[in-house]
Structure 1
Amino acid sequence: MKKTTIKIVMALLCPKHIYLKQKIPVIILMLCGILNWHPLFGQINTPVKLIGTVKAGDDLKPLPGATIKIGKSGNAVTSDQNGKFQILTRDTSGVLFISFIGYRTAIIPFNQTEKGPYNIILASDPSVLKEVIVSTGYQTLPKERSTGSFAQIDNQLLNRRVSTDIASRLEGVVPGLLFNRNTVNGSAGNVDISIRGTNTLFANSQPLVIVDGFPYDGDITNINPNDIESITVLKDAAAASIWGVKSGNGVLVLTTKKGSPNLPLSIDFNANLTIGNKPDLFYSRNFINSSDMISLEENLFNKGYFDSNLKTGYVPVSPVIQLLAGHRDGTIAVDQLAAGLSLLANNDIRKDETKYLYRHSVNQQYSLNFKGGGEKSDYFLSLGDDQDKSFYQGNKNSRITVNSRLNFYPIKNLQFSIGANYVQLNATTNNPLYNYGNLAFGSNNIYPYAQLKDANGNAAAIPKDYAKSYTDTVGNGKLTDWNYKPLDELHNADNTLRTIDNRVNLGLNYRFLKDFRADIKYQYEHSAESGLNYNSLATYYSRNLINIYSQINPNGTVTYPIPIGGILQQSDSYLTSQQLRGQLEYNHNWNDKNELTAILGSEISSTENGSNSNTVYGYDQETGASYANIDYATSYGLNPNGAATIPSTLGFGKTTDHFLSYYSNAAYTYDHRYTISLSGRIDKSNLFGVSTNQKSVPLYSTGAAWNISKEGFYHLTWLPYLKLRATFGYTGNINKSATAVATIRQLSNNYYSGDTYNQIANPGNPDLRWEKNRMTNIGLDFTSKNQIVSGSIEYYSKKGIDLFGNSLLAPSTGLSTYFGNTADTKGNGLDLVLNTRIINGSKFKWNNNFILSHATDIVTKYDVTSTSSNYIAFSNSSSIIPLTGKSLYGIYSYSWAGLNHQTGDPQGYIDGKVSTNYSGILANTNINNMVYNGSSRPTTFGSFRNTFTYNDISLSFNIVYKLDYYFRKTSLTSSGLPYSGNEDYYKRWQKPGDELITSVPSLQYPPYTSGRDQFYQYSTALIDKGDHIRLQDISLSYDLYKSNIKNLPINHLQLYGYVNNVGILWRANHDGLDPDLSGNTASAAYPLPRTFALGIKANF
């Protein structure tokens, strides 16, 4: 172990010394080489095979793609994916030149007695740009020799961010990749990802995820980032088309960590603790303070607004309305009323929710990796443990991961590999109020003066569904307690989800005839998810359901169709997939002038998904007993009114998908200057088509690259590297919701006959086929002298063909529309990457990375046109309502003519004239005169990352920006008052002249003018620009190396800190809104809280 350590240290400290397996310094070998070159020693004509392994001096990892050349004869080969090489020569002696971009060239003498195996360690050369190796999932190749559009995320950049999921580590570091955080509940952290825009309308829009050469069918959050070595993002057709009909949205290729032959045991440990702030509930616009809410309620009460609710006797009303009604009825005195209202006015539900429903999040992450190898094998084993306490009280998650891989080399040129991955996730979601705004009474948002605890510190009750006067008296005490106490619900909930995911993969790789390699791979994956939501009798859910269905008989007795006890909701799902691939590879280099690489293969896969669900009534968790005799057929009278059968969630489903594919890829490079590439793939499936030619689709790509800087006429010394490349090709996509055969669905009983009947859900379509995406990409890569500036610029155009959409049918068919390949889209964009070494001193360095991306998507063909009201009301960043000629995620609105100066009413246009005839405005607005504001998703976005290094201290921060898009903000609506409040209440028009300083209409009391609120809510007055610049994160680290500190008991130690979600630096809107939230509605009423992490990494 000590000798190995000395060897590594010498390789790092003395880069001009290359140590071989026999531990002979290169100086001695060069002397031997000089002697062997002497003519007196003669030559032997029998070919000599030289073998060895090439590794990087900085981390001792294999270097695939290194060039090994025999100086005298000119023969050359490249090292394989494990850094291994073998080369034949008839020379009895000579010199090997081993080169790799970013490393100093090694010169190794050879002769009849020194033929290897060589263990060659290349020293890093900071003055030369390191060659980037990209992976398509089928093969690895130097980026310099590729024609396609790749983005490579190495291990250092991948680990810059602290998180438990792999997807979030890509945000702000990949050109063309956008996190659409405003499409769903941003506060929950669930987002979707798009690469170079959206390439489909209704099919899956997420990128394909590849892990170690196979599509990953599980949830990407199952993957432990500590197991990933690098990620390659495939963005254009030449890069991604090899994946066929699954690659239309781009491809994320994840390569896991592995061991290396002849590498001593290496242990890596990583641990970090992340603490997050509580959410800022005071950020939400959807709030009116308690005193103003009480004034509104008083005003509306005096106008009779609540009289109908009070008359029912069971509709819940707020405490203020109860006090006012009691005073009107003479049961509450004036002073009691005043005291009660004063007490309520001092409450703020946001304070109670912040205190009792939320907490500081705490995440603990631990990872331990073992890797190494001998002459005949190498290994990797990782163990991961993540414990996450969400900022929602009662919610927590845990994840355990085990990942292993063994490679065996039993005989020369043969490699056998086996990998296994195990993931277990346990999620507890016991906070039913996990989002601000979920707390409600009746159909209304909760009143702002509500309390979660009473004066004695006990859980307070809130009239959730029914008036307290009703629940306290109905059934004469024979029903279960009908009070709803939110804090009790938090403690009584028992909602768990367990997921287990297993993957096993096998591989056999054999090299023969020098340039050929046969490869067979197989993967089996099984994922099972089991959900249990136990609602004990203590929960409101069970008590409420039991009471609703309880039958109160005329004699005062009560029967319980739903038995008194707990209610257990079960849900189970599974996924089983198998994939088998056979591949033949060819790689040959002629005299370091001509290089040809090619692959030819076929793969077959099968995926089965299944699910079932059930509800068990009268369940006792301690005994496991339940009540089986539930009558689901009878319609029971409900309390307080109505009738219904007992709900049953019994259900099951199963789908099976089969795929058969043939593929090929080839690339030829001449003299390191010119490269051409071709790829093709045919996919077949049981999903589409009826005839054979409709069950398969050929997808292909072609590309060319020109290394201009290698030309003899090129003499720009300040720009030593310049490469032009262009590609064209097709990728595809799948929509599993469509089928080529006719499908029906069973509906309820016919009104007249009482019989069940069926309805055609989708007519048969024998022409159903895959979606296709055609893309052209042109790129220019460049590097200045000493790498002061490097980067790339790419322009692309794309066209979506045969996309799934709705199309009109003749009325005689009995159907109005059908779902098929009827839509087209187009788009274009730009990706710019600039890497700058601003300061590159011996101690202090300042590097900058700038990313600029622009992506647009336009619908060019869609047969069905909806109404203008649908386009306006449902246009947002998460919904697509296609309209030919407009953005996929366009946002539309009514024309705005300001406020009436006398009444404060909102004004629009009818036939070009200002009007307050809202019904007329809504009726006369069509798709031709409605306002198209623009895209609701950013069309220009990117990041600006700076890294400062002083000796072993590194500080970096990443600024991300999103530009050229719009969002619709919420505002005040008179009909939504009093409980759907909004801070625009304080900006409303109140007197003539206010129309000059506000666009918020005057408050209108019942009766409301029809269409007034709808017009204002969807007018351009509430459209704002989403442009903003955000300081995403800050990272600080300090590294200690054994080579610098002799007494350090480990090889490398890193201490690091990380701050995420730092804050917005600039925004275009003037309301202080975060455009990344989903419309800034109650379901996403606060930005992601800021988090702080501290961690340690160690290598032994």
Structure 2
Amino acid sequence: MNVKLRVLSAGVLFFLGQNTFAQRSQKDTINKETQIEEVVMVGYVKKSVSSLTGSMTALKSADIDTPSAISVDQALQGKVPGVVVNTTSGTPGSFQDIRIRGVGSFTASNSPLFVIDGVPMVNGNTTADNASASPSLSTLSALASINNDDIESIVVLKDASSTAIYGARGSNGVIVITTKRGAKGKTRFNLDTSVGFQNEAYNKLKMLSGAQRLSLLKDGIANQFNQTQDEAMQTIIDNDLGGYSLWDGKEYGWQDLLTKKNAGLYSVNLNASGGDAKSTFYASLGYNKTESTSIANPFERITGLFSYKRDLTDKVSFESSFTGSWLKQNPILEAGSFFGNPYLTRVLISPWVRPYNADGSYNIDEFSDMTSIANTLYTQANNVIWQKQMRALINNKVDYKIIKNLTFTSRLNVDFLFNDYKAYYNRYHGDAKDANGSSERRMSQNFNLVTINQLNYIVKFDKHRIDASAFFEYQKNQQDVLSGYGENIPADGLTNIDNTSANYSTGSNYEDWKNTSYFGTLNYSYNNKYILDATIRREGSSRFASGNRFGTFWSIGGAWNLHKENFMPDVVNELKLRGSYGITGNSGVGLNRYQATLAYDIAYGQNGAAYANNFGNPNLTWEKSKTYDLGLDFAFFDSRLSGSIEYYNRYTYDLLQSVPLSRTTSFTSQAQNLGAMRNQGIEASLKFDVIRSNSFNWNIFGSIATVNNRIEKLATGGDGLPIDVYAGSVYRKAEIGLPFMSWYMPTWAGVNTQTGAPEWYLNGVDGERTSNYNAAKRVFQGTAIPKYTGGFGTGLSYKNIFLNANFYYAGGHKIYEQYAQFYMRTNSFTLASYNGSEDLLNAWQKPGDVTDVPVLSYSQNDNFHATSSRHLYDGSFIRLKDITLGYNLPKDFIKNIGIDGLSLTVRGTNLWTYVFDKGLKLDPEVSAAGYTTLTTPPVKSIIFGVNVQF
């Protein structure tokens, strides 16, 4: 087949892919046991599975083949026992909270370390760097710049034996990402296209219609002033309550108006790989366009990857890769009580307000007469808000084989991340109306340099094998931020700061940090039966004072491959007992916290001025974790039945806490290493190949992970009592012996059947009730940390057809519906000023009524909406994460059109969700904090695609 015909065929199939809504298939759905032992990348080194002593889970590219997941962290949920992915927002490209084996710190980072191609990376929410004026904008993940289609494998490291090699960054677990590389042979091309649509996965919250709101408003007035319904209606008319005179009697479905149904999703990825006897290459180009289920503009991303490997001589090989990406996200103001938040708007906006005028233009003139919320349809159409991210990731590696068993490896990595944020607010309506329009621009650049030098020695004699490595690593990170702001824009069409003329402000800042490490690893095996693994790392960080800058972290692990013993029966294919113990650290503390510092961001008499802003603590040091792990891996009956079970116990100490200081110091608190916390639990997974044959295969699998979290130690205050980390919070309390992130609030007792008043238990448990909210005792109400999580599913294939389904579940935790404080009020706040939930239709009416919504009264404050267990729900749920139906076209057919493979698939994501607590109306996948928030919820999607290989 000539080149021209190949290109023509590829173009035809590309067009076919868009018109048949196709997306690539999951290859090798039923994996068969091979005779070649699997090798996995566990950070800096590769290891065979039999030589592993630590807890790790390896995922291949097919396992994370989730086109609706913009960033790879979204594809991990339910795939790895002990890993919880908390959805902070469903806005495309948003940052996700990831927790591995629970929460290990009060105030420092709880996020895992990401390692890409052997190099530790800096990843997180880049919006925090860009949007100083709008801290609750949609988050933007640095991982969103990585194309999932370019990822070859992911390995999640969980215990000390696996993570101690990363020293002060391994305490929260490590996620190792390996990108694709070329293979020797002729050049092969792979084309993926996918088209689909998505909607909100789960949202049962319904708001009052205009007629319902009027009916309840009359009830509230009648109850307050002892009036009849007709008298109450007249009161509404006479006082024009809620802007009633402007209501035309029509129903306006703001929830539908501010939600994009069937939001589109489209992606295309093309890659090529090949090589000869001395060199290989891999090149890819990808494009993604994903619409949000809010009314924001779509997310767009362009990515490219080129990697090249060459054997320069018999002893020297060189490898280099370059990843470049550009993306644009159109964020919305969310995760906060802002009237510019479209998800808050669609809940709280008065249903009497019409969105458009009679001529079809946006209604903005009457909005201020009926509500303090702006017409979000107008502001979304006339404001300009976007953030762009450009990333260049360069990896270079040289291997020099000094002698037969001794190799020197040098890596140099440069990661450059540039973020650009712009926000223009129009001068007619919305947040900047009083300022006659405003414009903000903020740019940040992050430069991350990592060099790693490694000396590796491998020797084998008799039945012994020794693999030893020594490393030196240096990491330097620099970040610059430049911002500007202005108000008073003179004319339409002008959106830049240069066009403003009032209230100018500018800002810039710079910060940097460095890490230096010396470490070594030793892996010894005897006859591949008995394994000993040891790691030691000496690491220094500029985040701490010179006297506490260096820390030592280490681990030791062992494994016994029992299946290699002669006494084991043939039905045992794998039986490995493993255990490990070690100390890792957490350096995720704020920069310069150890220093006594001055700030210069104020003026005095139009002159620069300084003030002390941090007391400092030169004794500040690493948070540390002692972790031990015991596990058993097994496979029986020709590996038809396989799985693992393990127990872990992680004790984290020297946790940072803010300790009160004497006011004579001019400061209220100081950060000190005084707290401790423990996480322990069991993780288990099981897979069974029910049917194996040449034409039909069926397997089932499942996993479960438990977390028992407990606060072991808290700093002591001047009164001799433990210091509450959540001091002042109406939601939580930290107490020794209880889980971290514990809910602590009054206990709801119901509605008084005779008076309709809300009631809470006086002692916080049972017995006597009170309608005086402030008299009710606050008590422990559970934790936001799921006590168990896991996944299960099945895979089937018949000849060229395959079907895979994956479920995810979580439970044992509580979720608080934080915004019930707004839409569950029983007075004018919801009935006249804003809007309320349909649950208010169940309000108490007369003596004898049994309900959980108190009597409505126009001007009362009964504290029904205040923090209590009434708005706390069981967070347990089950979700169908992925279901894929695919068809691989027969090889005889595809050869006739000159290609090597063609697969068609249809995939569903989050199509079904079962929530155990029917009172929970919003999506159960919430942030790690445990609150439901009015943010873009997770999405359910249906995606069609085609994969072509030629």
> TM (normalized to structure 2)?
0.85
Q: For the residues of structure 2 that align with 1:955 and 1:521, how far apart are their CA atoms?
A: 42
Query: Does structure 2 retain, via aligned residues, the 8 Å contact 1:349–1:451?
Result: no
Corresponding residue number in structure 2 for 1:295 = 215
Q: In structure 2, do the counterparts of structure 1 residues 1034 and 910 end up closer, same or farther at CA, with 3 Å as the change threshold?
A: closer
Letter matched to residue 311 of structure 2 = Y
Q: Any residues of structure 2 matched to 1:739-818 within 5 Å, and which?
A: 739-745=593-599, 760-810=612-662, 812-818=664-670
Letter matched to residue 459 of structure 1 = Y
SS at match of 2:638: helix
SS at match of 2:546: coil
SS at match of 2:786: coil
Q: For the residues of structure 1 that align with 2:276 and 2:941, how far apart are their CA atoms?
A: 43
Larger Rg: 1
Q: Any residues of structure 2 matched to 1:283-362 within 5 Å, and which?
A: 283-285=204-206, 287-298=207-218, 327-328=237-238, 343-344=248-249, 346-350=250-254, 353-355=255-257, 358-362=260-264
SS at match of 2:161: helix
Corresponding residue number in structure 2 for 1:589 = 460
SS at match of 1:277: strand
Q: For the residues of structure 2 that align with 1:321 and 1:958, how far apart are their CA atoms?
A: 58
Q: For the residues of structure 2 that align with 1:231 and 1:626, how far apart are their CA atoms?
A: 44
Query: Does structure 2 retain, via aligned residues, the 8 Å contact 1:393–1:431?
Result: no
Match of 1:248 among 171, 174, 193: 171
Q: For the residues of structure 1 that align with 2:212 and 2:262, how far apart are their CA atoms?
A: 31
Q: For the residues of structure 1 that align with 2:561 and 2:457, how far apart are their CA atoms?
A: 23
Q: Any residues of structure 2 matched to 1:1037-1076 within 5 Å, and which?
A: 1037-1040=886-889, 1042=891, 1046-1065=895-914, 1067-1069=916-918, 1074-1076=923-925
Letter matched to residue 873 of structure 1 = V
Corresponding residue number in structure 2 for 1:75 = none
- Asked if 1:989 corresponds to 2:831, the answer is no
Q: CA deviation at 1:1020?
A: 2.9
Match of 1:1094 among 919, 937, 944: 944
Q: Any residues of structure 2 matched to 1:458-477 within 5 Å, and which?
A: 458-461=361-364, 463-464=366-367
RMSD: 3.6
Match of 1:653 among 501, 509, 533: 509
Q: CA deviation at 1:797?
A: 0.1
Q: Any residues of structure 2 matched to 1:952-963 within 5 Å, and which?
A: 952-963=800-811
Query: Does structure 2 retain, via aligned residues, the 8 Å contact 1:854–1:940?
Result: yes
Q: Deviations over 1:689-728 (max 9, x none)?
A: 232xx1100000000000112223x233332321100000
Structure 2 unaligned residues grouped into runs of 5+:
3-26, 124-141
Letter matched to residue 685 of structure 1 = S
Corresponding residue number in structure 2 for 1:150 = 56
Q: CA deviation at 1:580?
A: 1.1
Q: In structure 2, do the counterparts of structure 1 residues 296 and 738 end up closer, same or farther at CA, with 3 Å as the change threshold?
A: farther
Q: For the residues of structure 1 that align with 2:313 and 2:290, how far apart are their CA atoms?
A: 46
Q: In structure 2, do the counterparts of structure 1 residues 984 and 726 end up closer, same or farther at CA, with 3 Å as the change threshold?
A: same
Letter matched to residue 717 of structure 1 = D
Q: CA deviation at 1:1007?
A: 4.4
Q: In structure 2, do the counterparts of structure 1 residues 1097 and 855 end up closer, same or farther at CA, with 3 Å as the change threshold?
A: same
Q: Any residues of structure 2 matched to 1:426-575 within 5 Å, and which?
A: 426-429=328-331, 436-439=342-345, 445-461=348-364, 463-464=366-367, 485-537=375-427, 540-546=430-436, 567-575=438-446
Deviates more, 1:937-946 or 1:1078-1087: 1078-1087
Q: Deviations over 1:230-254 (max 9, x none)?
A: 1111111111111111111111111
Query: Does structure 2 retain, via aligned residues, the 8 Å contact 1:395–1:431?
Result: no
Q: Deviations over 1:782-820 (max 9, x none)?
A: 000111210111110001111111123345544442112
Q: CA deviation at 1:754?
A: 11
Corresponding residue number in structure 2 for 1:608 = 478
Letter matched to residue 138 of structure 1 = Y
Q: Any residues of structure 2 matched to 1:625-1024 within 5 Å, and which?
A: 646=503, 648-691=504-547, 694-712=548-566, 714-734=567-587, 735-737=589-591, 739-745=593-599, 760-810=612-662, 812-863=664-715, 873-875=730-732, 882-910=734-762, 914-916=768-770, 918=772, 921-922=775-776, 925=777, 930-969=778-817, 970=820, 972-975=824-827, 976-978=829-831, 979-995=834-850, 998-1008=851-861, 1012-1013=863-864, 1017-1024=866-873
Deviates more, 1:235-244 or 1:856-865: 856-865
Q: For the residues of structure 1 that align with 2:526 and 2:150, how far apart are their CA atoms?
A: 37
Corresponding residue number in structure 1 for 2:130 = none
Q: For the residues of structure 2 that align with 1:258 and 1:189, how far apart are their CA atoms?
A: 28
Q: Any residues of structure 2 matched to 1:18-97 within 5 Å, and which?
A: none
**Identity of aligned pairs, percent?**
23
Q: For the residues of structure 2 that align with 1:1096 and 1:660, how far apart are their CA atoms?
A: 47
Q: Deviations over 1:609-637 (max 9, x none)?
A: 11121113455797898778956xxxxxx
Q: For the residues of structure 2 that align with 1:683 and 1:1095, how far apart are their CA atoms?
A: 47
Query: Does structure 2 retain, via aligned residues, the 8 Å contact 1:161–1:1035?
Result: no
Query: Does structure 1 retain, via aligned residues, the 8 Å contact 2:387–2:419?
Result: yes
Query: Does structure 2 retain, via aligned residues, the 8 Å contact 1:575–1:607?
Result: yes
Letter matched to residue 571 of structure 2 = W
Q: In structure 2, do the counterparts of structure 1 residues 701 and 338 end up closer, same or farther at CA, with 3 Å as the change threshold?
A: closer
Q: CA deviation at 1:1071?
A: 5.5
- Asked if 1:193 corresponds to 2:42, the answer is no
Q: For the residues of structure 2 that align with 1:665 and 1:730, how far apart are their CA atoms?
A: 15
Q: CA deviation at 1:300?
A: 5.7
Query: Does structure 2 retain, via aligned residues, the 8 Å contact 1:462–1:484?
Result: no
Q: CA deviation at 1:1062?
A: 0.7
Q: Any residues of structure 2 matched to 1:406-445 within 5 Å, and which?
A: 406-429=308-331, 436-439=342-345, 445=348
Query: Does structure 1 retain, via aligned residues, the 8 Å contact 2:417–2:445?
Result: yes
Q: In structure 2, do the counterparts of structure 1 residues 1099 and 544 end up closer, same or farther at CA, with 3 Å as the change threshold?
A: same
Q: CA deviation at 1:349?
A: 2.8
Q: CA deviation at 1:257?
A: 0.6
Number of aligned pairs?
Answer: 881
Q: Deviations over 1:170-205 (max 9, x none)?
A: 111111111123x66789965311111111121121
Letter matched to residue 214 of structure 2 = I
SS at match of 2:185: coil
Q: For the residues of structure 1 that align with 2:949 and 2:332, how far apart are their CA atoms?
A: 39
SS at match of 1:903: coil
SS at match of 2:925: coil
Q: CA deviation at 1:843?
A: 1.2
Query: Does structure 1 retain, via aligned residues, the 8 Å contact 2:701–2:794?
Result: yes
- Asked if 1:265 corresponds to 2:116, the answer is no
Q: In structure 2, do the counterparts of structure 1 residues 725 and 807 end up closer, same or farther at CA, with 3 Å as the change threshold?
A: same
Q: In structure 2, do the counterparts of structure 1 residues 463 and 303 end up closer, same or farther at CA, with 3 Å as the change threshold?
A: farther
SS at match of 2:75: helix
Query: Does structure 2 retain, via aligned residues, the 8 Å contact 1:189–1:1088?
Result: no
Q: For the residues of structure 1 that align with 2:872 and 2:573, how far apart are their CA atoms?
A: 49
Query: Does structure 2 retain, via aligned residues, the 8 Å contact 1:431–1:493?
Result: no
Higher RCO structure, 1 or 2 (CA under 8 Å, sep 6+) = 2
Q: In structure 2, do the counterparts of structure 1 residues 523 and 1081 end up closer, same or farther at CA, with 3 Å as the change threshold?
A: closer
SS at match of 1:545: coil
Structure 1 unaligned residues grouped into runs of 5+:
3-60, 62-101, 103-123, 306-319, 472-482, 547-565, 632-645, 876-880
Q: In structure 2, do the counterparts of structure 1 residues 670 and 627 end up closer, same or farther at CA, with 3 Å as the change threshold?
A: closer
Q: CA deviation at 1:127?
A: 5.1
Q: Deviations over 1:358-410 (max 9, x none)?
A: 24211211111111111221111111111222233341121111111111112
